[in-house]
């Protein structure tokens, strides 16, 4: 079974802090994704990566950056956390076709 | 721009009934469509993936169909159980590799 893990289930940070969210997958998937999920807005893609050291902006990349130094690990970085970044963050991975996505358990981030 | 809609937003049905969840999309040039379930406060669990060349996929009590020409997919759940209560989301991957999610249908099975 594919396993996608995220470093924290719950995280509370202060405004202005630098925040790292880590995602690890154990199935040698090429593709990895970061989404945020908010009530009424659904899932929105922040960044994705098709290969090591490769990244592409999604629909809402502002205020975020990512790092993929190893194939199994994809990190989301909030350079200076703000209250409007309070959200559920979901990581996913997939193989090349058929592109089935597998999700981690999510990190509920609260910025105060 | 692809738009994915799931109606209704919420649904309650008595235990044991068969039910259908709907997903519609505006651009039929898709690569695949995936159905997920999400329990409160948790991540998404993949249920079924349908490639653009397929008409349906089945897993246990679940059957998903795809009609690209009409821009519709349905998720059929047979003999519903209280454990089926969750939010069900569909996601469409376009030929441009963009993945667009619907906002989900919140399903409640009444014991």
Structure tokens at A42: 């659904």
- pLDDT for res A73: 97
Instruction: For B82-106, write each residue's pLDDT tens digit.
Output: 999 999 999 999 888 788 999 999 9
pLDDT tens sequence across B15-69: 999 999 999 999 999 999 999 999 999 999 999 999 999 999 999 999 999 999 9
What are A's interface residues with B at a Cβ cutoff of 8 A? 4, 33, 40-43, 45, 88, 90, 92, 98-106, 108
Which has the closest alpha carbon to B61: B46, B77, B38, B73? Answer: B77
Nearest chain B residue (CA) to A33:
B99
């Amino acid at each position: 079974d594919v396993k996608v893990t995220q470093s924290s289930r719950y995280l509370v940070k202060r405004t202005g802090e630098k925040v790292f969210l880590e995602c690890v997958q154990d199935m040698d998937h090429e593709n990895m994704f970061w989404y945020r999920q908010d009530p009424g807005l659904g899932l929105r893609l922040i960044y994705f990566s098709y290969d090591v050291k490769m990244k592409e902006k999604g629909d809402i990349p502002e205020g975020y950056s990512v790092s993929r130094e190893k194939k199994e690990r994809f990190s989301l970085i909030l350079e200076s956390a703000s209250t409007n970044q309070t959200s559920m963050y979901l990581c996913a991975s997939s193989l090349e076709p058929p592109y089935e996505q597998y999700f981690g358990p999510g990190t509920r981030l609260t910025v105060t | 721009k692809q738009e994915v809609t799931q109606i209704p937003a919420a649904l309650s049905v008595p235990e044991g009934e068969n039910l259908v969840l709907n997903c519609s999309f505006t651009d039929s040039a898709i690569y695949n469509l995936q159905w997920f379930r999400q329990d409160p406060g948790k991540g998404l669990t993949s249920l079924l993936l349908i490639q653009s060349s397929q008409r349906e996929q089945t897993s246990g009590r679940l059957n998903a169909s795809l009609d690209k020409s009409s821009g519709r997919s349905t998720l059929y759940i047979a003999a519903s159980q209280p454990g089926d209560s969750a939010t069900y989301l569909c996601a469409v991957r376009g030929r441009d590799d963009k993945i667009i999610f619907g906002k989900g249908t919140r399903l409640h099975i009444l014991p």
